[in-house]
Amino acid sequence: MTKSLQDKVIIVTGAGRGIGREIALLCAGEGAKVVVNDPGGAADGAGSNAAPAEEVVEEIKKRGGTAVANFESVAEAIPASKIVKTATDHFGRLDGVVNNAGILRDMIFHKMSVEAFEAVIKVHLMGSFYVSHAAARIFREQESGSFVHFTSTSGLIGNFGQANYAAAKLGIVGLSKSIALDMGRFNVRSNCVSPFAWTRMIGTIPTETDAEKARVEKIKQMGPEKIAPLCGYLLGDSAKDVTGQIFGVRMNEIFLFSQNRPIRSVQRSEGWTPQSIAEHGMPALKGSFYKLDRSADIFTWDPV
């Protein structure tokens, strides 16, 4: 059977554990040469450890694949550019980037520190930009390439205690769409994936109430290996017409998410005042208001 990523060179950030690890293993199994990036920090980003990335590289080699480890952080521009340089130095080209690296610093908004907000933005949003920006010039010159960025229903829908994470993840959607628009003329694609999977990061979700405990037990059923096939597809040539989209994966379900479009309008020929908005405008729009839903309020059925 033909391998879908034969001889392609793929970078996977945060590939030492969890979803990133499974994507790296699948890409290698589909014939890609993989840069396994992971500084090996804790779930909150603290510390470093070369072992996770090295172990994934060893596993890939043991299965007959090709991979190299990289331990740079995505959270700063120069180290992030070195991840891309690792690909070109070792393999001579670059065909795909999976922006998976992430940390969590959950806290209810009024208690969230500036440092916790900035740290999450740096890794998720700025990290996705830094790596993509370094890769973009290569993709432009060769007129091909695919970006897969990780978003989350925390940003797409909502969640408690994750203002930093939600802001970063919704920012990534805007980043991905802009890349798709700007680089489409060069045959460069950019898509988002919102994963549902039990990982070390999800393990930091509070489990104080019975409802929270039940939710986490459901998430535990969803292995990170379920996320990898869609990412592998999006990196391959068979996805050449797929760009600017937002997908979700939950167990064996794949979702296509909607994107922001106007849903209702009001108009007044003489223009609006604060008073007329209060009296006529807002009451007419309220029927279409979105509730303050959380992800769990929307995905109410068990994963299948």
- 145-150 and 246-250 beta bridge pairing: unpaired
- Give dist(CA 228, CA 23) in Å, integer: 5
Residue 42 CB partners (closer than 8 Å, separation 6+): none
Is position 233 annotated as part of the catalytic site? no
Q: Which residues contact 65 (CB under 8 A, 6 or more apart)?
A: 28, 29, 32, 34
Radius of gyration for the alpha carbons in the chain, expressed in angstroms and rounded: 20
| Alpha helices for 143-209 (secondary structure H) | 153-156, 163-183
Q: Tell me whether residue 273 is exposed, middle or buried, using C-beta atoms within 10 angstroms of its C-beta: 0 to 12, 13 to 18, 19 or more.
A: exposed
CA distance 276 to 24: 57
Q: Which residues are designated catalytic?
A: 165
